[in-house]
Amino acid sequence: MLASANAYATHPLITDDTNTQGKGKYQIELNSRFSRDRENGIKTTSKEAASTLSCGITDNIDLIAGLPFEWSSLSTTKEQGIGDMSVDVKWRVLWSEEHNLSVALKPGVSIPTGNAEKGFGHGEPCTKATLIATHNGRLGALHCNIGYTRNAYKLDADKAALRQNIWNGSLAAEINVLTNLRGVADIGIETNTDKASASHPAFLLGGVIYSASENLDLDLGLKEGLNKSATDTSLLVGILARF
């Protein structure tokens, strides 16, 4: 259940974009994930419900806070609890209207609000930073992320078995299918936290975002693991409101 600190992108995408809310504006996301994985004959299922609040500090700086609640089932063992809270700042540092290109930096920290003994969180604060680039076009948008997380662990067993330095990279595309409907695709890879494995989890994701109104989006996505170290299948469902 342990993983690097979450990066909160426009659901269902994993890859973030450079968009900010604007000064004095807010956005709240309520997302859920249902996952299945089978490895060495052992089936694991997990669920997560997460809420994320974004606040526009200035026109190009957002403060973002997220908190997940998780359920897991391994054979006959079942656990549930809140995960680690994540606090991020997204700063759009460069943008060119002429070239429809923008760049943002997104540093953040996870706060150990989860129970590390049950596998919900690290038990120690973790730091992270992501470099984000977005190119907007007539047909849609492209997003690219390169990120680094420095994990810390409270439990001695985790310190011995899990890596501290986690890198990730991903690329996403949005296609304007209709005025209020976007198709999305995402592909990425991340350092495996397990020191015993040299196989790094990679994923492919496809989904849709439906704008029910100017300030309300509904989304649905399916995420598939591209190798054995990645979770086999995850169904992603979310709702987003701006105000």
Q: Would 168 be classed as within a structural domain?
A: yes
Q: Give the pLDDT score at 116.
A: 93
Mean pLDDT for the stretch of residues 181-186: 98
Q: Would 46 be classed as within a structural domain?
A: yes
Q: How many domains, the chain? A: 1
Distance, CA of 12 to CA of 49 (rounded, Å): 13
- Write out the H or E segment, with its range, that includes residue 169: strand 165-178
Q: How far is CA 227 from CA 13, 183, 190, 201, 222, in A?
A: 19, 24, 12, 6, 16
Q: Would 237 be classed as within a structural domain?
A: yes
| Average pLDDT score over the chain | 93
Q: Please report, for the domain that includes residue 93, its CATH number.
A: 2.40.160.40
The whole domain housing 192 covers 26-242
Q: pLDDT tens for residues 142-180?
A: 999 999 999 999 999 999 999 999 999 999 999 999 999
**Quick one: pLDDT band at residue 26, thresholds 50, 70, 90?**
very high
Q: Would 8 be classed as within a structural domain?
A: no
Q: Give the pLDDT score at 76.
A: 60
Q: What is the four-CA torsion angle of 203, 152, 144, 33, rounded to 10 degrees? A: 40
Q: Give the pLDDT score at 42.
A: 81
Q: Which residues neighbour 40 within 8 Å (Cβ) at sequence distance 6 or greater?
A: none
Contact 208, 193 (CB under 8 A): no
Mean pLDDT for the stretch of residues 115-130: 94
Q: Would 172 be classed as within a structural domain?
A: yes
Largest CA distance in the chain: 58
Q: Give the pLDDT score at 4.
A: 44
| Residue corresponding to tokens 């076009």 | 137
Distance, CA of 227 to CA of 190 (rounded, Å): 12
Q: Would 1 be classed as within a structural domain?
A: no
Q: Would 21 be classed as within a structural domain?
A: no
- Whether the predicted pLDDT of 52 surpasses 50: yes
**Quick one: pLDDT band at residue 8, thresholds 50, 70, 90?**
low
Please tell me the total number of residues recorded for the chain in this structure.
Answer: 243
Nearest to 142 by CA among 6, 20, 13: 13
Q: Give the pLDDT score at 79.
A: 82
Between 45 and 142, name the one with better pLDDT: 142
Global pTM value: 0.92
DSSP 8-class letter at 160: H
Q: Give the pLDDT score at 5.
A: 43
**Quick one: pLDDT band at residue 3, thresholds 50, 70, 90?**
very low
Residue ranges of alpha helices (H) inside the chain are: 156-161
Q: What is the four-CA torsion angle of 97, 101, 105, 111, rounded to 10 degrees? A: 100
Q: Would 17 be classed as within a structural domain?
A: no
Q: Give the pLDDT score at 39.
A: 80
SS3 118: helix
Q: Give the pLDDT score at 74.
A: 64
pLDDT > 90 in the chain, percent: 85
What single-letter amino acid sits at 221? G
**Quick one: pLDDT band at residue 2, thresholds 50, 70, 90?**
very low
Contact 206, 172 (CB under 8 A): no
Contact 85, 64 (CB under 8 A): no
